[in-house]
A and B are shown apart, each in its own frame.
Chain A
Amino acid sequence: MPEPLNFARRGAAGLPPARGLYDPAFEHDGCGIGFIARLDARPDHRIVEDAVRILVNLEHRGAVGGDLATGDGAGLLLPIPDAFLRAELGAAGVELPEPGDYGLGMVFLPRDPAPAERCAGRLEQIARDEGCEILGWRDVPTDDTTLGELARASRPQVRQIFLGRGRTPADAFERRLYIVRRSVEKTIASWTDAGAGAFYIPSLSSRTVVYKGMLSGSQLTRFYPDLMGPAFAAAFAVVHQRYSTNTFPTWSLAQPFRLIAHNGEINALRGNINHMRAREADLRSPAFGREIEKVKPVIVEGGSDSAIFDNVLELLVQAGRSGPHALMMMIPEAWGPRFLMSEDKRGFYEYHAAIMEPWDGPAAIVFADGRYIGATLDRNGLRPCRYTITRDGLVVVASETGVIDIEPERILRRGRLQPGKMFLVDLAENRIVPDIEIKAKNARRKPYHRWVKANRIELRGLFTPSRIPSKEPDRLRREQHAFGYSEEELRMVLAPMASSGQEAIGSMGNDAALAVLSERPQLLFAYFKQLFAQVTNPPIDPLREELVMSLMSFVGPERNLLDETPEHARRLKLPHPILTPEDLMRLRDARHPDVVPRDIPILFPAGSDGEGLRRALDAVFAEAEEAVAQGATILILTDRGLDKDHAAIPSLLATSALHHHLIRRGLRTHVGLVVETGEAREVMHAALLVGYGAAALCPHVAFATVRQLAEGGLLEAALLAEEAADRYITALKKGLLKTFSRMGISTIRSYQMAQVFEAVGLGREVVEEYFSGTPSRVGGIGLEEIAAETLARHARAFPAEGEPEKLLDAGGAYHLRAGGEKHLWTPEAISRLQHAVRTDNYESFKAYTRIIDDRACSRVTLRSLFRFREAEPVPIDEVEPVESLLKRFVSAAMSFGSLGKEAHECIAIAMNRLGAKSNSGEGGEDPERYRPLASGEDRCSRVKQVASGRFGVSTEYLVHADELQIKIAQGAKPGEGGQLPGHKVTAEIARVRYTTPGVTLISPPPHHDIYSIEDLAQLIYDLKTVNPEARISVKLVAEVGVGTIAAGVAKARADTVLIAGHDGGTGASPLTSIKHAGLPWELGLAETQQTLIANRLRDRIRVQTDGQLKTGRDVAIAALLGAEEFGFGTTVLVSIGCVMMRKCHLNTCPVGVATQDPVLRSRFSGRPEHVERFFRFIAQELREHMASLGFRTLDEMVGRVDRLDVAPAVDYWKARGLDFSAILAVPEDSSASPRRCIRAQDHDLAGRLDAHLEAKVRAAIEETKPVHLRLPIRNVHRAVGAGLSGRIVKRCGAAGLPEDTIRLDFSGSAGQSLGAFLAPGITIRVKGDANDYLGKGMSGGRIILVPPKGMAGRPHENIIVGNTVLYGATGGEAYLCGLAGERFAVRNSGARAVVEGVGDHGCEYMTGGVVVVLGPTGYNFAAGMSGGVAYVFDESELFGTRANLDMVDLESVWTEEDRRQLRALVEAHAHFTASPRARMILEDWEAHLPLFVKVMPMDYRRALERMRLGEDRDTETVSATEEVYHG
């Protein structure tokens, strides 16, 4: 038995324990992965060498920690090097049995001998108990000299154990080893002594072994000298290079795991874990028999998402499914109706959809079990995966091409893994198995297709009711009161949904009180905030990429995961989760043996309290258990029975509580939960119910209300009640898709139970008991308060005397209403502030801040409950002056487009006068503004934003910035893109954004060059290369885990990280996003500060915050929590005249601030002085706070969280349970680590290839002398050309140099971002191939790619360039002689390109330029394409079936102009690349021309017509919803 030790051990995985707001559970990683294999399966030491070389060449995809030396993790998964080990052990006198008859365990043990001994002893004992023979141990030689400090400190002792098979049958040996490992893991994890945390078994197998650690690729072989031994031979090797967001990457979390290496992120992880937990009770397998209990729980908590994925995959494989089969279950490709596939395959996927939800998220997975080595990509194809096959049977698969050198003559084929596809090497058959064969074989293993058809149950097949349920108006009124409906919700939420089938749109930020601080009874829903994807996982565009999304789900009992029978498909299939009252009646009346519904009323006594509510929940549990025992398969939680004496239990509470209860009882898979509630009406409500376990919901009061609105004529259009209900459902469905996609989740099956929410203001007990696993970091209300709020509403519906009020509550959550919800902005506050800045009246400003800061009336924000800790004041004269504080202020990003020209320039001028910074926003900037006005006034925005739309992001734009800000998310709508409707795109805006006037502009939800943290590092590198003087800033939005992302951002070498609050403004956003996504900055900022300090990264990155910063007090609090810079948005707008109309999205701003309408703009009355005064006032007030707190400089003040306290009497009844200790936690070693930025990031720019080139082309740049260089290139050479381009444009302006002044001829595989932001005058030619992001932001010049000389195969059948080529290009041309990956020319707005084939989503969001595709295209071509032209050579004539025709028309090429343009481009392609395909087409032009299809955006055509007529503006009014949604 281990001796109990008295000091706290670190977390099981070696992570530090959660402290303050930092929680290791929110760690993310990204990486580089790959494998190399010999088809002949012959072990070869060169494979190991090459594998290590791949790792080293992928090093830029990994990261190092705060000590600048510790790698985040690297490792190899190899077949057991039998010969090497046999020799090693032989030397020690141990003779190994035949390969396959012994198992090799790679074991990490504590370095301390005593605990190591105990762990090893227990391992031996368990192995023996399981019938294995202990053959011996081997101490693995390690050399820690190159390790970083962090890695060395936590380094384990590495040993290998050899286990004999004993009497275990050969085919069960691998499973036996699995059981041994799980048993040992569980046993030792239960120990509480300090050393045991280091114990970990990287692998225990008779086939494979894992060498890994907290290393960088180049450290791997130094640390494990084994790998260098010539006898150490392998037929394959899987490699992984890790990039962890924080610097507690531990030894155990390095990859590969036992079966896989993963690059990506499982977004739906919590749901997958919950599902697996629920299933565990029913797991049975003939392969395991009773021993299945030994491996439970299947999931080892504390693991990363990849580790957990590996756990489940391992179970499926050990229980008998093949690796590929299991992967097809876990990461199914998209099989929606848009995809052409066989019935068998569709049947396979549908069948398995009823068994397991997708493990959704961006993923490239490499797996190996000894026989099969393969790779697969998720349905969205969001991670790159390139492969090369040689003539001599070598297969190289990696995140990048060119990771090892292969002579061109050896190359047989170069390809990439496509979305949802699999690539498999079968070492037993010595061949590559193509995707189509893998899938076909698995799909036909069993008649899945028939099983599904024969067994699935559909609602429409159930009994049809004869009566239509309806509600009496009086009853409806009472129910509306009871569920807290307001007139405002009817008008602003439900009516728009029912009118247009879209969610309502709003603008400006959310300044209303947090639910826990609101004095009005809040629905429980209001205490939750949606999480969203940022950086480490991309959100999805649910409109333009709808084809991968799905709302289909199954309800009813699940069967044993480890078995497959026809009955597994016998579940009720729902096309979407919204049930009408009629649907529910159908369900209740069902007479199907497998559909046995049972009503569970969710009510509690109206006269009771929290205790009554708790008892009612217990009664619900008991009733549900009884129903399950009696054979119910669907439980309908219903609050229809609500009456005077019975109030409704909040539906979310009832649903989640029962869901978790049933999981705990092992009954969850036996029933589906359907919720019939009057409470739910918004998208957020439906999302929460689904996220916490409901399979479907029927919002019965919402339906009745929609009917009432329709019949009362209160909708925008005259609709029948049924039509309105239909549209309402549509709006909910679209909203749900948007909600999932915000988190990067594609299907409702993954979203269900995924709990991707954070609670704010919910007490710990309630959360632990009923919402287990949900983060809730400031505590809050309990059942008592929940009951009280519910009963307050109930009392309105059933007043003690008399009738309920006729009118509903006025509301006030969105628009201010007297007596309604509290808002920070009141008429008084706005008029005071405007008066102050117009008349330069500090007294009036103080009156304004008194209104905002006054705790009693503006208890709206978390910080309103803080107070400063007393300290010795200093005289105010000794406090740093206003002038120096001003430099810390920025105006928030607001685009030219959302703001009118006058307002935008007014702010820029003011900020420049102050020596502060304005932010261009994402709409580009007129180059005119780079030059000062004659008056000397400077209108140039010092901060320039780079957002997902990349509008106006030209090289010139980038070089005219002091700071470049990468906007990952925006507080008002994190995780989604935006749309600028055509009528706002004036000629001027179009020019600045490089688009066409009148054409709608779409910015995608993700940056298509940031799907993970290493991509962000790459973009930072790109931007830093093009403008080395600019600071790089990354804008994040507060949510749980933002701290770890910020740490990742710091490691990506950003200079600044901005933590925006959820309440920031917006020009247009769905109300759900404004209200329900993101968190207050107080939480995000504190978490960021704590995590950065804990990771020793705070010293090298500046922290900025924004989000409803309004007063000197706000700034002081932000500084104490860790911010050193401060952003202001709404207050700046109010200073120049904004009166919070919240009409930005309608273009009708009556004060001319947020509008493009010239009539309204002429009403703009703001002046730079107003902004200047505002900032001076803020600085002055900040000084006053500093003086009273005793700080002379802001630097001293940053991060002094010890000077913050909670107001002594948190005197509001709901706020009593709040606990801010996590926010106010003082970091452990706060005295040692810097609390603020004190050093610059090391951008390591000197080492890049461009730096080397610059010296050689100086003459070309300075004297326009042509220069021609020939050089080799490798994948580690990234952003080649960007640095030169920045220098050229800075010197020569946007026009750059004359064509071909600089010619760069490379041979090899170019690294990422080749030719990024290329300037006119540079021609880059690569003989070889190139990686992702070629020509990103290209502004001119030319890029030519040709296959290497001597390579076999035809160019148009081989991949030559990766994903996301020409993203956001504004000019230049590219000729690519081969195939390109996904998202070719995404958001191109000016480049011309010829390519021989593209993957999925080609020309997505394109707004300009010309693309010619001389070969095949993937799915979803031209999605969201609103400008430019594409010509596709469509030999198969199937192009139309794969293109997305929502916004484009397909035409033939018939006008003379088009023919000339096309021919010129094809000729140029032939000329520059000698493409055989181009030659072939040109040789018989007339015959080939008819096969070309012209892709013409409809908007674009209309705009061109208007331009021809001399009109530059579309005056037709566009409905509000089009602002964000298309059509």
Chain B
Amino acid sequence: MGKPTGFLEYARRNPTKRPVEERVRDWRAVEHALPEEDLLTQAARCMDCGIPYCHAFGCPLASRVPEFNDLVYRGRWEQALELLHATNNFPEITGRVCPALCEAACTLSINAEAVTIREIELGLVERGWREGWIRPQPAARRSGRRVAVIGSGPAGLAAAQQLARQGHDVVVFEKADRVGGILRYGIPDFKLEKWVLDRRLEQLRAEGVAFETNVEAGVDISARYLRRSFDAICLTAGARLARDLTIPGRGFEGIHFAMDYLVQQNRRNAGDTIPRVEEILAADKRVVVLGGGDTGSDCVGTARRQGARSITQIELLPEPPKDRPPENPWPTWPTVLRTSSSHEEGGDRLWSVLTKEFLGLGTHVRGLRCVRIVWSEPDAARHVESPAVKPRQACPARAATGRRSFHEVPDSEFRLEADLVILALGFVHAEAGPLVRDLGIDLDPRGNLRVDEEFRTSASGVFAAGDAVAGASLVVRAIDQGRRMAEAVDRFLRTA
């Protein structure tokens, strides 16, 4: 441990952000990096816990936080980076977009502010790029085995890299025109500038990963072809089927899914031209975003940058508390009110609001009819599950889950005017396209691909991981799944 008393001596420092009025005029990243000298003292705040909850509970990747903090404090950057990469293929991405489950579980956060683990991670990996420490690590020997990876999101990329480093020939098939999946098209540039991704993709290519874009597996190439040409197939196509809101008026124009909206803007930023008819733009519009999650927040930020006249975000659930309630204790993920950089940039947030109907004028949406609701207490006390409870934890820590119900507040109906409505209500499950059908893969009750503990689907030689298996979740979890699937695939290839 760097400094036993560091946490008493130094306060947490958060990275600064560009001023709102400046940042909303472009699409560049909002946050500044923490200066390197700050990283040192921030790392000194780490207490090297006997049970490091960040590592053993918070982070799905089991990132070796105490160790790399110690090394950063000692100035052993290169070694720290090695440790960081030992559990995470893309720390420069998680360092930018991860909600930092590790920090929520940090022991310091019990009664003080958590260690800035994510900033240290980011600083560390960026220094690695600057110094040229991050180089391709091609396998010393090729195995001669071929693996197809379907989908180039975080799970697919992590799996591809791991497998390539084991000496397998990996081909990644991507439906879109560019590699990256959700990383490239789902996350706005102001959170993740795309050169970050490109830089890493260069490394993957140098390690022998081949990318085939504009190829939709199952459509452009058949399942049979894949089976014939590859020793293993990895499905990492995500869980893209968006949740819809089927209420009266859903048919009006001007109501779009969040992902369509975000993808378009990312393409635009990448230099693509969007056909006018497809354009979804918020400029000068009254925008209502349905859904209070991260995607909703990304839509808010995007709409703001596009020049929306007003932005309102609506959430069905009640406003979360500012602090952890007793039922949601440390080290579980705190369901508390979060204010993203996009929220800082303006807009209204409404809670406990149920949308009853879309109102339109002609064919186009013009507003929403909403009602306020009240939520009941959960029907049984519950220990809120952390999003970080890892499947690798074999212990059954089953909790009594409580269900809540709501009722409408009488006479609370109101109307919202809207020219553009974005549905950011989450995702239902994986898209069961022709490939899934042709490979004959079983689905689980939720509609995702069913796998066993070795990430095997019901079709032999076909593996799956990421959101396609677990449902929509965090990037960090997708990376974890991709890595573990790669291990399983490697075992499979060695024994097959």
The chain A residues found within 8 Å of chain B, CB to CB, are 487, 491, 508, 712-714, 801-803, 806-807, 810, 814-819, 823, 825-828, 830-832, 834-835, 838-839, 841, 843-844, 847, 850-851, 854, 856-858, 1137, 1139-1143, 1146, 1148, 1150-1151, 1157, 1159-1160, 1163, 1165, 1517, 1520
Q: Would B397 and A817 count as touching, CB distance under 8 A? A: no
Would you call B326 an interface residue if the criterion is a C-beta within 8 Å of the partner chain's C-beta atoms? yes
Would you call B459 an interface residue if the criterion is a C-beta within 8 Å of the partner chain's C-beta atoms? no
* Residues of chain A with a CB closer than 8 A to B86's CB: 807
Q: Mark B39-82, 1 if CB is under 8 A from A, else 0.
A: 00000000111111101110000101011001000111001001
Q: Would A832 and B381 count as touching, CB distance under 8 A? A: no
Nearest CB on A from B308, distance (A):
42
Of the candidates A816, A832, A1140, the one whose C-beta lies within 8 Å of that of B397 is A832
Bound form: Cα–Cα A307–B443 in Å: 77
Nearest CB on A from B294, distance (A):
25
Residue of B nearest to A812 (CB): B56
Q: Would A1150 and B7 count as touching, CB distance under 8 A? A: yes
Q: Would B381 and A1151 count as touching, CB distance under 8 A? A: no
Q: A802-B167, A1140-B50 are in contact. Are A857 and B394 (CB under 8 A)?
A: yes
Q: A851-B395, A851-B397, A1146-B4 are in contact. Are A1139 and B107 (CB under 8 A)?
A: yes
Of the candidates A714, A806, A831, A858, the one whose C-beta lies within 8 Å of that of B330 is A831
* Residues of chain A with a CB closer than 8 A to B8's CB: 1148, 1157, 1159-1160
* Residues of chain A with a CB closer than 8 A to B329's CB: 831, 834-835, 838
Residue of B nearest to A823 (CB): B51
Bound form: Cα–Cα A817–B330 in Å: 19
Of the candidates B79, B83, B108, B400, the one whose C-beta lies within 8 Å of that of A843 is B400
Residue of B nearest to A801 (CB): B141
Q: Would A815 and B4 count as touching, CB distance under 8 A? A: no
Nearest CB on B from A860, distance (A):
12
Q: Would B5 and A1517 count as touching, CB distance under 8 A? A: yes
Q: Which interface residue of A825, A828, A854, A1137 has the most chain B CB atoms within 10 A?
A: A828
Q: Which interface residue of A491, A818, A839 has the most chain B CB atoms within 10 A?
A: A818
In chain B between 352 and 399, which residues have their CB closer than 8 angstroms to a CB of chain A? 381, 383, 389-390, 392-399
Q: Would B50 and A828 count as touching, CB distance under 8 A? A: no
Q: A491-B67, A801-B141, A827-B331 are in contact. Are A850 and B396 (CB under 8 A)?
A: yes
Of the candidates B55, B76, B79, the one whose C-beta lies within 8 Å of that of A818 is B55
Bound form: Cα–Cα A844–B328 in Å: 13
* Residues of chain B with a CB closer than 8 A to A834's CB: 329
Of the candidates B47, B76, B398, the one whose C-beta lies within 8 Å of that of A1141 is B47
* Residues of chain A with a CB closer than 8 A to B74's CB: 713-714
Besides the contacts A806-B82, A1141-B51, what 18 more A-B pairs have beta carbons closer than 8 Å? A713-B74, A714-B74, A810-B64, A817-B62, A828-B393, A838-B329, A839-B326, A843-B381, A856-B394, A857-B395, A1139-B51, A1139-B107, A1141-B47, A1141-B50, A1146-B4, A1148-B7, A1150-B112, A1165-B111
Q: Would A838 and B107 count as touching, CB distance under 8 A? A: no
Of the candidates A487, A806, A850, A1143, the one whose C-beta lies within 8 Å of that of B50 is A1143
Bound form: Cα–Cα A430–B141 in Å: 91
Nearest CB on B from A1406, distance (A):
31
Would you call B139 an interface residue if the criterion is a C-beta within 8 Å of the partner chain's C-beta atoms? yes
Q: Would B383 and A844 count as touching, CB distance under 8 A? A: yes
Would you call B26 an interface residue if the criterion is a C-beta within 8 Å of the partner chain's C-beta atoms? no
In chain B between 1 and 47, which residues have their CB closer than 8 angstroms to a CB of chain A? 4-5, 7-8, 47
Nearest CB on A from B321, distance (A):
16
Q: Would A816 and B47 count as touching, CB distance under 8 A? A: no
* Residues of chain A with a CB closer than 8 A to B105's CB: 827
Q: Would A807 and B83 count as touching, CB distance under 8 A? A: yes
Q: Which interface residue of A806, A839, A1148, A1159 has the most chain B CB atoms within 10 A?
A: A1148
Mostly, the A contact residues are: loop
* Residues of chain A with a CB closer than 8 A to B277's CB: none
Of the candidates A825, A843, A1148, A1163, the one whose C-beta lies within 8 Å of that of B111 is A1163
Nearest CB on B from A27, distance (A):
40
* Residues of chain B with a CB closer than 8 A to A825's CB: 51
Total CB contacts across the A-B interface at under 8 A: 148
Bound form: Cα–Cα A1146–B82 in Å: 29
* Residues of chain A with a CB closer than 8 A to B337's CB: none
Would you call B448 an interface residue if the criterion is a C-beta within 8 Å of the partner chain's C-beta atoms? no
* Residues of chain B with a CB closer than 8 A to A826's CB: 51, 56, 393, 395
Bound form: Cα–Cα A830–B57 in Å: 11
Of the candidates B49, B82, B140, B381, the one whose C-beta lies within 8 Å of that of A807 is B82
Q: Would B62 and A858 count as touching, CB distance under 8 A? A: no
Would you call B310 an interface residue if the criterion is a C-beta within 8 Å of the partner chain's C-beta atoms? no
Q: Would A815 and B49 count as touching, CB distance under 8 A? A: yes
Bound form: Cα–Cα A823–B398 in Å: 19
Q: Would A818 and B82 count as touching, CB distance under 8 A? A: no
User: Which 6 A-B pairs have CB atoms at the shortest separation, nearest pair first?
Assistant: A1142-B50, A818-B62, A827-B57, A857-B395, A1140-B50, A816-B51
Bound form: Cα–Cα A819–B107 in Å: 20
The chain B residues found within 8 Å of chain A, CB to CB, are 4-5, 7-8, 47-53, 55-57, 62, 64, 66-67, 70, 74-76, 79, 82-83, 86, 105, 107-108, 110-112, 139-141, 167, 326-327, 329-332, 381, 383, 389-390, 392-400
Q: A831-B332, A1163-B111 are in contact. Are A815 and B52 (CB under 8 A)?
A: yes
* Residues of chain A with a CB closer than 8 A to B53's CB: 827, 1139
Bound form: Cα–Cα A1165–B111 in Å: 9
Q: Would B51 and A828 count as touching, CB distance under 8 A? A: no
Q: A491-B70, A1148-B8 are in contact. Are A817 and B332 (CB under 8 A)?
A: no
Nearest CB on A from B334, distance (A):
13
* Residues of chain A with a CB closer than 8 A to B70's CB: 491
* Residues of chain B with a CB closer than 8 A to A487's CB: 67
* Residues of chain B with a CB closer than 8 A to A844's CB: 381, 383, 399
Residue of A nearest to B55 (CB): A818
Bound form: Cα–Cα A1089–B67 in Å: 45
Q: Would B395 and A854 count as touching, CB distance under 8 A? A: yes
Nearest CB on A from B89, distance (A):
15
* Residues of chain B with a CB closer than 8 A to A803's CB: 140
* Residues of chain B with a CB closer than 8 A to A807's CB: 82-83, 86
Of the candidates A491, A713, A1151, the one whose C-beta lies within 8 Å of that of B110 is A1151
Nearest CB on B from A1300, distance (A):
52
Nearest CB on B from A555, distance (A):
40
* Residues of chain A with a CB closer than 8 A to B327's CB: 839
Nearest CB on B from A1368, distance (A):
32
Bound form: Cα–Cα A831–B62 in Å: 18
Q: A835-B383, A847-B399, A1150-B108 are in contact. Are A827 and B51 (CB under 8 A)?
A: yes
* Residues of chain B with a CB closer than 8 A to A857's CB: 394-395
* Residues of chain A with a CB closer than 8 A to B390's CB: 818
Of the candidates A802, A858, A1139, A1165, the one whose C-beta lies within 8 Å of that of B49 is A1139
Q: Would A828 and B67 count as touching, CB distance under 8 A? A: no
Bound form: Cα–Cα A1165–B330 in Å: 13
Bound form: Cα–Cα A1157–B8 in Å: 11
* Residues of chain B with a CB closer than 8 A to A831's CB: 57, 329-332
Bound form: Cα–Cα A1137–B86 in Å: 32
Residue of B nearest to A816 (CB): B51
22 A–B contacts, CB within 8 A, in A order: A491-B70, A815-B50, A816-B50, A816-B51, A816-B56, A817-B62, A819-B62, A825-B51, A827-B53, A834-B329, A835-B326, A839-B381, A844-B381, A850-B396, A851-B397, A1139-B107, A1142-B49, A1143-B4, A1143-B50, A1150-B47, A1163-B111, A1520-B4
Nearest CB on A from B74, distance (A):
7
* Residues of chain B with a CB closer than 8 A to A508's CB: 50
* Residues of chain B with a CB closer than 8 A to A1148's CB: 4-5, 7-8, 47
Bound form: Cα–Cα A831–B331 in Å: 7
* Residues of chain A with a CB closer than 8 A to B7's CB: 1148, 1150
* Residues of chain A with a CB closer than 8 A to B399's CB: 844, 847
Q: Would B383 and A1139 count as touching, CB distance under 8 A? A: no
Q: A831-B332, A1159-B8 are in contact. Are A1151 and B397 (CB under 8 A)?
A: no
Bound form: Cα–Cα A814–B51 in Å: 9
Q: Would A1141 and B56 count as touching, CB distance under 8 A? A: no
